[in-house]
Amino acid sequence: MDGGSDAAQTDKLRLCPKATDVDPTGPMKRVRTTQTVLSLAQRCLSGLLLLVVMVAASWADATGVVALREASQALAGASLRQVPVIVEHIEAAGKESALPLFEAMLAGNLYYQRADNRIVITRQTEGGDYAIRDAVTGESLGVVAKKSIRKVKVNNRLRSQLRATIARLTLFSANVSWRKSAATNLLNNLSADNVALLQEARAVESDAGVAELIDTALALHTLKTSTDRKIRLRALEVLDGSLQPTVRNQLLNLTEVDAQGQYREADAVVRTRAARFLARIDGKIKFFGFLETLFFGLSLGSVLLLIAIGLAITFGVMGVINMAHGELMMLGAYTTYVVQLLLPNHLEYSLLIAVPAAFLVSGSVGILIERSVIRFLHGRPLETLLATFGISLILQQTVRSVFSPLNRQVATPEWMSGSLEINSIFSLTYNRLYIFLFALLLFCALQLVLNHTSLGLNVRAVSQNRDMARAIGIRTDWVDALTFGLGSGIAGIAGVALSQLTNVGPNLGQAYIIDSFMVVVFGGVGNLWGTLVGGLSLGVANKFLEPTTGAVLAKILVLVFIVLFIQKRPRGLFPQQGRAAE
Amino acid sequence: MTSSALPAPLTGRVTALHELRARAPLFLAILFATTIAASLGNLLFPEDSLFHVSTYTITLLGKYLCYALLAMSVDVVWGYCGILSLGHGAFFTLGGYALGMYLMRQIGDRGVYGNPELPDFMVFLDWQELPWYWAGFDQFWIAALMVLLVPGLLAFVFGYLAFRSRVVGVYLSIMTQAMTYALMLGFFRNELGFGGNNGLTDFKDLLGYNLQADTTRVGLMFASAVALGLAYVISQWMMGSKLGRVIIAIRDDEARARFIGFRTENYKIWLFVYSALLAAIAGALYVPQVGIINPGEFSPVNSIEMVVWVAVGGRGTLYGAIIGAILVNYAKTRFTAIWPEAWLFALGALFVGVTVFLPQGIVGLFKNRLAGRAT
């Protein structure tokens, strides 16, 4: 879920009244049920957020709208006794499109306007007024004072009815992902009512994934309530291999001893079986935890690869470390920002446009730097290092003056947000996944350019022996400029990728640059494979060290490791061959 | 790594003493004339007098002298031996921390929490006792020893690892940068016991003298001047001696120097240690004058800035480094007061301009003028 909907979600949650506000005089038990109701409501809210967005689109359905409006209109001024019937009518009339209304009602945000009895969903503003929108169409109706609207009354009985209605609507919806999230919600909040509903749903469920979830939920319930050993063991079998956290908790509960030293589970057969399944689940969790760390490591590694690959090209060919590389990357990130600013309605394509745009912007700035400064410092790598550092300061300050020193917001397109869910404990976020694939793609493209084009041939010739290359007619100064432009352009592309992972600000370039130097030093500049291996292995090493040592210490350890490593291989894993090597 | 832009090695029958006699007196005269005049101006003349020098100026001058010493330490390795260190800030800051720890212990129970043993930040973190590595820092001589020992040891270990495996040029620069970066990350952590983000500050007195007093300020500035003068004389003598010639030979062609039979890595290691010691002393003198030391000083940008001081002044001449440090920092003080945004532009332009147009710095400019007039 992207940042914007997260904010909307917290907004919603904040508006849920606390349990004690709802019923301050009620007995403890009731307060507790209210809390569960509310926590269910919150879970539903978060789980169904996507659903609400989708429903907003289907609100346009005109016939449904009329029926739903008619049915819901009855809520205005209705007595508590009438409401349950009205709710049933609304459900019949609106089906899934009535979900936002029910959600709001459950959260206590459903009001009607005194003037025209229109049913509205409210959100309290900071000033204490209410921002309202139509409960049927979702159309925003502005901000009104509290006295011009009236709350649709809800009591606890109604809340459980609403809860059941919402569960039913989603559980029997035509949309698989809604059903899935509804089933997951119910799995985590099992009660007798839910079980009946689940059994009903199971009979008609066609999707294997959702059916499995429901089976798990039902098995959990059986395990908890049944006393027949045979039935319970069969239920346990169903739970085998499930990665739902609730299942693990339940199994853990079966194997633990309580404060008196007694096993919570009296039946020894069930207990040992549960322990065996628990061990199997823990093994799986460990395995997927390992995969997750690996994924994060590869993701960090791919970012390092993206950054370091441009550095490695310029360093390999010209023997020059470009200290402004980070800032060229920053320019790429800002290009993304500008592209999105210019094309606010084409967010989906913004990255596709930003990639070549950033390549051109950073690449031409790179060529400008090479032509105006670096070529005068030829053969003096240390001076080049200082001069490019000066350029990095100038670029940073330019961006600060032009765009402001504050971070800019770069939006994530829909297709890059969210995550690929493998199972309930392991999912890959799309942005990291795409960036990883993109880095590999870029690597392959560069390999092709360097090994199968005439530019690549020239570049390799110059990097191996500059004088000889010139003697056979290669225009080395042009090769230098193009190489520098290529390296810088790739930095720009890396900037586009980074804009999807971190904040875009004037200091963007500084954050990763030393790490990417390390990649170049570690990998060597003999060929690009060094950068690939160096980047990925440093990324993975960092992420695997982090849980035991903490992020900072992990970074320090990696740095120390590299210092020691270059004792053995002073020129990295893949050292440069030929005259330029010393 | 040969470079025609660098000052040529000494030729003819110029002895080390000769070289020293030719340069040192003028330098020392200017240094001490300025500092003594400033001290007298501060201590003798009342505030409304024309000749009064404010305490702010004294502190500023003291700071510049520390920077000058630091620049000289960079010049010793870069200008004379071709080792471009982008991590000299690490030695400077470590020296500063070592003295800062002493100053922290001197606060005693005058801190906010009034704990006689523990510095405020440790009380704040709920630590019960001093970590072992803080032991003895209430003694000035131990702190002073640590000012030299810790950065010296770091330089030795780093130099031993780097120079023996013949890490040179850009690789070495990047590694030194990584070193100071790693230290910065480490010192930002509260767990390390050096005050984390905030570093060490709120100092009260040094050897019993109140740090806020004018006389202490003047004394510290004077101490900085003495340290700078001494370091100048020693370095100038060193570079003029046979040792210096070997060092310059290594800069101009390390492989040839090695073939002739010099163990070049040993020369480099010990020169690096010497340079680190100068930087550490500069740091230790700097901290009581500015009253704070924090991990920000480790930041790689600071270390690169030091290099540009040397480049501006003219590397390979010790007084060039000093002139560069004072000029650039004076410009920084003025710029950041008048027009802060422009400073980074100016600094960036300075980096580019000096490397492209003035490879020998300001000193080189004047030298060429003089040489042109002579012929």
**Residue B353 burial class via C-beta count within 10 angstroms: exposed 0-12, middle 13-18, buried 19 and up:** middle
CATH value at residue A452: 1.10.3470
Domain ranges of chain B: 16-374
Residue A504 has pLDDT above 60, yes or no: yes
Whole-number Cα distances in Å, B105 to A78, A404, B111, B122, B210:
74, 43, 10, 12, 14
The answer to whether residues A65 and A137 touch, using CB atoms and an 8 Å cutoff, is yes
Residues of chain A with C-beta less than 8 angstroms from the C-beta of B253: none
Residue type, B347: L
Give strand pairing partners of A144.
A130
Q: Report d(CA B33, CA B10) in Å as an integer.
A: 30
B122-155 burial, b at 16+ Cβ within 10 Å, e below that, comes to bbbeeeeebeeebebbbebebbeebbbebbbebb
* Greater model confidence, A45 or B262: B262
- Mean pLDDT confidence for A14-42: 41
**Residue A449 burial class via C-beta count within 10 angstroms: exposed 0-12, middle 13-18, buried 19 and up:** middle
Predicted local distance difference test score (pLDDT) of residue A57: 47
Percent of chain B whose pLDDT exceeds 70: 92
Element (H, E) at B210: strand B209-210
Residues of chain A with C-beta less than 8 angstroms from the C-beta of B189: 552-553
Are A559 and B178 within 8 A, CB to CB? yes
Q: Report d(CA A239, CA A165) in Å as an integer.
A: 28
Are A387 and B344 within 8 A, CB to CB? no
- Mean pLDDT confidence for A223-243: 75
Q: Which of A126, A154, A182 is the last residue of a domain?
A: A154
Q: Report d(CA A130, CA A148) in Å as an integer.
A: 10
Are B165 and A566 within 8 A, CB to CB? yes
Domain residues for the domain of A447 are 287-417+428-581
The answer to whether residues A85 and A75 touch, using CB atoms and an 8 Å cutoff, is no
Residue A408 has pLDDT above 50, yes or no: yes
A206 assigned to some structural domain: no
B327-337: pLDDT as tens digits: 999 988 888 88
Confidence bin at A493 (pLDDT 50/70/90): very high
Least confident interval from A370-374, A544-548, B273-277: A544-548
- Mean pLDDT confidence for A48-53: 48
Residues of chain B with C-beta less than 8 angstroms from the C-beta of A568: 165
For chain A, the average pLDDT equals 78
A71-100: pLDDT as tens digits: 777 777 777 777 778 877 777 777 777 777
Which pTM value belongs to this model?
0.75
Which residues numbered 32-91 in B keep a CB inside 8 Å of some CB on A? 82, 84
Predicted local distance difference test score (pLDDT) of residue A59: 47
Cα dihedral A159, A163, A164, A170, rounded to 10, equals 150
A114 assigned to some structural domain: yes
A569 assigned to some structural domain: yes
Q: Report d(CA A178, CA A169) in Å as an integer.
A: 9
Q: Which of A154, A187, A210 is the last residue of a domain?
A: A154
Least confident interval from A76-80, A116-120, A429-433, B11-15: B11-15
Residues of chain A with C-beta less than 8 angstroms from the C-beta of B300: 514
Q: Nearest-CA distance from A503 to chain B in Å?
A: 20
- Closest CB from B165, B189, B304 relative to A552: B189
Are A394 and B348 within 8 A, CB to CB? yes
Instruction: Give the residue from B77, B157, B171, B354 with the most A CB atoms within 10 Å of its CB, the best one to mutate.
Output: B171
Least confident interval from A45-59, A149-163, B19-33: A45-59
The ipTM estimated for the assembled molecules is: 0.84
* Sign (positive or negative) of CA dihedral B284, B289, B291, B296: negative
- Closest CB from B170, B308, B347 relative to A321: B170
The tokens describing A26, both together, are 């009620």
Predicted local distance difference test score (pLDDT) of residue B375: 47
For residue A52, count other CB atoms closer than 10 A to its CB.
Answer: 18
3-class state of residue A472 by DSSP:
coil
A212 assigned to some structural domain: no
Residue B118 contacts A where some CB pair is shorter than 8 Å: no
Confidence bin at A577 (pLDDT 50/70/90): low
Residue B91 has pLDDT above 90, yes or no: yes
Q: Report d(CA B325, CA A253) in Å as an integer.
A: 69
Tally the domains of chain A. Answer: 2
B346-361: pLDDT as tens digits: 888 888 888 888 888 8
Q: Which of A128, A154, A180 is the last residue of a domain?
A: A154
**Residue A204 burial class via C-beta count within 10 angstroms: exposed 0-12, middle 13-18, buried 19 and up:** exposed
Predicted local distance difference test score (pLDDT) of residue B374: 53
